[in-house]
Amino acid sequence: MENVVMILKNIKTLCATALLLCANASATLITFETRGLDHDAPNHGIDNTDFMASWNAQLSAITSTELLDFTRVQSGNDSFSHVQIDLNIDRANTNWIFELGLDAGFGAAVYLDGQLVQSRTDDLWWGYNWNNSDVFTVALNDLTRANKVVDIFWAEHCCNGASSIRFKNDANQWNNLNVASLNAASIPEPTSVALIALGLLGFASRKQFKK
């Protein structure tokens, strides 16, 4: 009887541990940064073949904030913008698609772990319409279970249109880019959490009965 009580206690502890591990694994950060353009440099300091290097080469001060949601966010006039999404993906071989609705007269680029994935060099203005041809669509395929950093850069000379980003992974519906949606999409399915808990429980049970 004493062993049964111990096993029941282990059930609660191990299930709670599994859920806690999944919650920690899904911690996501969205960082939004802006800085002024260099009006004295050619093309205002923007090399649209390497947005990341152009961002790092700018000398203007950076304004940085962590966001819970990136919907209808304004960068300001004459600005260079950067969104960094720090993902901790706990699902293997997932396919993510991002759609960027931007005000980006100099174009935009997306990097994964510091490597360029895709860029557009045309004048982008999505006009608050996800069906607009200026919406920049980027696929990140077969992401492994690991930390992933997505960097998005864009620049605009004159205007201050609001930008939005949305995403989906696998067969999911489109979600606005926000921490809650990213966390939900990054963690294992509930059945996976249950299997983890059952596996830990089985291990603990074997140890109890061996004693």
Q: Let me know whether 55 and 90 are in one domain.
A: yes
Q: Please give the pLDDT value at position 17.
A: 46
Provide the greatest CA pair distance for the chain: 80
Query: Does residue 61 sit in the same domain as residue 113?
Result: yes
**191 with 181, same domain?**
no
pTM: 0.79
For the chain, what's the residue count? 211
Rounded mean pLDDT of the chain?
A: 83
Token readout for 142 is: 């077969």
Q: Residue 198's domain spans which residues?
A: 1-26+187-211
Task: Quickly state the pLDDT bin for 4 (edges 50, 70, 90).
Answer: very low
Q: Looking at the 3D structure of the chain, how many domains does it have?
A: 2
* DSSP, residue by residue, 17-76: HHHHHHHHHT--EEEEEEEE--TTSGGGG--TT-HHHHHHH--SPEEEEEESB-SSB---
Same domain, 75 and 131: yes
Q: What is the pLDDT of residues 9-35, one digit of tens each?
A: 554 544 444 444 444 445 689 999 999
Q: Tens digits of per-residue pLDDT, 176-200?
A: 999 999 988 877 655 444 444 445 4
CA distance 126 to 67: 21
Place of tokens 């990054």: 186
Contact 70, 164 (CB under 8 A): yes
pLDDT of residue 102: 99
For the segment 49-66, the average pLDDT, to the nearest whole number, is 97
Same domain, 157 and 191: no
Per-residue confidence (pLDDT) for residue 18, from 0 to 100:
44
One domain for residues 22 and 61: no
For 51-60, 116-125, 166-175, which range has the lowest pLDDT when averaged over its residues?
166-175
Report in angstroms the alpha-carbon separations of 23 from 84, 123, 157.
Answer: 21, 40, 41
Residues 36 and 53 in one domain: yes
| Residue 176 sits in the same domain as residue 124 | yes
Let me know whether 192 and 203 are in one domain: yes
Mean pLDDT for 145-166 is: 94
